[in-house]
Structure 1
Amino acid sequence: MGPIAATIHCLKTPFTWKGRASPSEYWWFTLAMMLIQVAALLPLTLPFIRAGVAYRDAWARAEIVAYNTWSEVVPPAAPDLLGIAQGQQVYWMAFGILMILPLFSHLSVMVRRLHDSGRSGWWYWIILIPIVGPILLLIFLVVPGEVYRNRFGPGRQADLYPRARRGSDMPVVPRDPLAHLQSAEDLRGLRHSRMPGV
Structure 2
Amino acid sequence: MNFQQAVQTCFRKYVDFSGRASRPEYWWFVLAYVVLAFVAGFIHDYLYVLVVLVFLLPLLAAGARRLHDVGKTGWLLLIGLIPVIGGLVLLYFTVQPSQPESNAYGPPPQPQPAGI
TM-score range, shorter chain: 0.7 to 0.9
Q: Is 1:22 the equivalent of 2:16?
A: no
Instruction: Give distance in 2, aligned partners of 1:145 and 1:128.
Output: 24
- TM-score, length basis structure 2: 0.86
Distance 1:139 1:98, change over 3 A: closer
Match of 2:75?
A: 122
For residues 26 and 102 of structure 2, the distance between their equivalents in structure 1, rounded to whole angstroms, comes to 19
Q: Which runs of 5+ in 2 are unaligned?
A: none
Structure 2 partner of 1:148: 101
CA deviation vs aligned residue, 1:63-117 (integer Å, no higher than 9, x gap): xxxxxxxxxxxxxxxxxxxxxxxxxxxx61x543453231110110000000000
* Structure 2 residue 62 is matched with structure 1 residue 101: no
Aligned mates of 2:12, 2:21 — CA distance in 1: 14
Higher Rg: 1
User: In structure 2, what residue type is equivalent to 1:107?
Assistant: L
| Counterparts of residues 70-109 of structure 1 (less than 5 Å) | 92=46, 95-109=48-62
List gaps (5 residues or longer) in structure 1.
45-90, 160-168, 170-198
Q: Is the 8 A contact 1:127 1:133 kept in 2?
A: yes
In structure 2, how many angstroms separate the alpha carbons of the residues matched to 1:40 and 1:106?
17
1: CA distance between counterparts of 2:95 and 2:85?
15
Give 3-state SS (helix, strand or coil) of 1:37's partner. helix
Contact 1:11-1:101 within 8 A present in 2 as well: no
Q: Distance in 1 between matches of 2:52 and 2:94?
A: 22
Instruction: Using CA pairs under 8 Å that are at least 6 residues apart, name the structure with larger relative contact order, 1 or 2.
Output: 2
Q: Which runs of 4+ in 1 moved over 6 A?
A: none
SS at match of 2:89: helix
> Could you state the TM-score of these two structures normalised by the residue count of structure 1?
0.52
Identity of aligned residues (%): 34
Q: How many residues align?
A: 112
